[in-house]
Amino acid sequence: MRAFLVAALFAGAALADAPPGDRLGTNEGVVLDIDRKEREITIRHGFLPELSMDAMSMVFVVADPALLDKVKKGDRVKIRTGLVGGRFGVLSIERLGKPGDR
């Protein structure tokens, strides 16, 4: 939990000067949890080179709540990240399959 909080603070600081909606890159990961009420998705993602952030599990806000209907817990996904309401978030998401699918 402590590592997550440090990473979230780092991500927020790194994005503070970025214009809203700036594309910060794409990444792949696995959906760990979906919170429709809070418009958040938890993803175990790979290294984020745009932020020099190691691979980890992280909660992202989503740009559009409909994105949460495209995936389920356990899905492998490809995400495009950027600022969403001043927070590090998911601008788009594509389902790649289940872990182990090719």
pLDDT tens string 56-78 = 999 999 999 999 999 999 999 99
Two tokens, residue 39: 């418009």
Whole-angstrom Cα distance, residue 97 to residue 35? 20
Amino acid 101: pLDDT: 64
pLDDT by position in tens, the chain (length 102) = 444 444 554 455 555 555 544 557 888 999 999 999 999 999 999 888 877 788 999 999 999 999 999 999 999 999 998 888 888 899 999 999 876 665
Helix residue ranges per DSSP H, the chain: 2-15
Domains and CATH numbers, the chain: 2-97 (2.40.50.320)
If 0-12 CB within 10 Å is exposed, 13-18 middle and 19+ buried, where does residue 89 land?
A: buried
Query: Is-above-0.85 flag for pTM?
Result: no
Closest to 45 (Cα-Cα) out of 33, 27, 25: 27
CB 91 within 8 A of CB 85: no
